[in-house]
Structure 1
Amino acid sequence: MLGGQVLAQDALAVDSPKWSIAIHGGAGTITRERMTPELEAQYEAALQNALDAGAKILADGGSALDAIQAAIVLMEDDPKFNAGRGAVYTWDGANELDASIMDGRDRSAGAVTGVTSIKNPILLADKVRTESVHVFLSGKGAEEFAATQDIETAEPEWFETESRKRALERVKAEQLSALDVDHKFGTVGAVALDQDGNLAAGTSTGGMTAKRWGRIGDAPVIGAGTYADNRSCAVSATGWGEYFIRVGVAQEICTLIRVHSSREPVICDEDQIPSGTERAYPCRLPGNIEPEIAQAAADYAMDEVQALGGDGGIILVTPEGHALYSFNTAGMYRGRATSEGVNEVAIFGEVLAGEE
């Protein structure tokens, strides 16, 4: 698999405070031939800015949830990515936005789909997680809920970009599919481990060009495009959403890691049990999850996607801070940073410096 076996550097020191973050800005037919040096530099700078925003929060002792939201908001606001501003157009010429977020401590989650006026959908997804009794809200109802939560909105002009308009025009004029004009899946996402040992994952997207009939991809679907569990991993996906939903990619990876670690979960101390949880709550697995186990789980899930006919990629962080990637496309906009001093971004399929 292209992009498989992309392992983190040496494991983080077990006895020191540690943190880790990985981000993505989409995967697809991303090659040097399709990109000018100027555009490559712009994407690298955008990825680095998002990575730095999340890393700073983690380095300062902030939460994984805050770190991933900080990184994703910057990418939602950047028209180079298919999320928030710069989202692709539906068949009817609108921008419909999806996002989801998950807390690995208690597996609380929030998601929104089909919103059209929310400036940063990832922030609304988190409000669904924390301020409602629901997990998944859609369309008008999600926007009505946003109005009760002081979530910033934006006019349609904020989301519009000429390149996305041209892509829609090509699909209609030349009777093309979205894959003919979307050489990359521009979904954005982030996963993180904070110094308290908690994991979080988030994903945001505009979907696929010329999508119709209220189509929903994997990005807002908990277990497909986003999943986080302190016992195993945090995952955010990007790719051909229908296939990621069918495989249940994000949860599949975390479940494989948990099962193949062959360890019984450690039960939380009383002060670690999430509020409202009445039973003994499994916090994590004892010992270390080897990066090879996590990588094999990620590659297996991506092989399943490919076997069905889909493509894309994932980012993953383990409780030990291993930051991994797996993708079966020519490239994936990606980056990672850790408390051990790793700080790097990449676009194309070649292995990053220092990776095995």
Structure 2
Amino acid sequence: MSGPNTEYDPVQVTPLGEAEVARMREDALTAIAQATDLAALKQARADHTGDRSPLALANREIGALPPQARQETGQRVGQARGAVSQALAQRQQVLEAEHEERSLVADTVDVTLPWDRQAPGARHPITTTSERLMDVFVAMGWEIAEGPVVEAEWLNFDALNLGADHPARTMQDTFWTEPAENAVVLRTHTSPVQARTMLTRTPPIYVVCPGRVFRTDPFDATHSPMFHQIEGLVVDEGISMAHLRGSLDHMLAALFGEGIRTRFRPSYFPFTEPSAEMDMVCFVCRGEEPAVETCRTCRGEGWIELGGCGVVNPRVLTACGIDSERYSGFAFGFGIDRMAMFRHDAADLRDMFEGDVRFSSAFGSEV
């Protein structure tokens, strides 16, 4: 059995000698001191503390030394590396401060200089889309109706045939104000405006109700806890689903151009019976092959979902004091934000609410 190596040739470990380690340390400190900017300091850091730097290579050689030489050599190399690290940190602080000072001087704006122009603002795409929609219905003889965003529970739910155990009333769907016994919510749709209209007017009623609504949705590319809706209500004698279909087809043609086909899919809403989900054919690919397969707007479906609609439930008419035996009506509700995204091919709903004028400017100054 071989014994420990107690003899070694000092010539073979000359790179780990006191003079050589001191030279490596001084070279590193000199390079750090001569760094005049952060880029030069970064290069000095890589040259003198990186894996292939002289001190790093010297540190690897310590393990090959005999036991009696390792402690002294390890302390020597460790002290040198510590001094280099400390010098780097101090020089980093100095250069960062100088860089910040230079940036403040270079970026300073002389607010006393004369100016002859003002950057133009921009109308928000949700605003222009909402106004265009309202113009369509006003041209048809309808009226604009508005109401408060903080609404009574009865108007937001009960008057619209949403029972006490309806899941929309839970904290997971609705923002309730405090104290809870006041039964006041942030409206979850603009339908309370329809209820207020029926309570204060006598038929015939033709109103469209735009506005902000609130639900406890996540804030992501397609959802927001605050968004915008436009709802319509007609109450008159002899109103049917045919009148609903014709009104919505006219609205979509005005917004997306002629030739937009639509379809109804059976659905359920407490305040309408019968109820339907309305889709329109994709206004980009028109649902035709082969364009539909690669269409980003409809994602290959050929159809785009818009929102819910239907014939007003007689219970809603009765709750609002209207004779359901004599009058009938229809109602619909669509998301303005969603329609603006379709109209302008916007991919992320969050861009609509960040308030950046550069985003709004891209959509022009439509009036």
Give the TM-score band, short-chain normalised: under 0.3
Q: Which has the higher contact order (CA 8 A, sep 6+)?
A: 1
TM-score, structure 1 normalization: 0.26
More helix as a share of residues: 2
Give the greater-gyration-radius structure (CA).
2
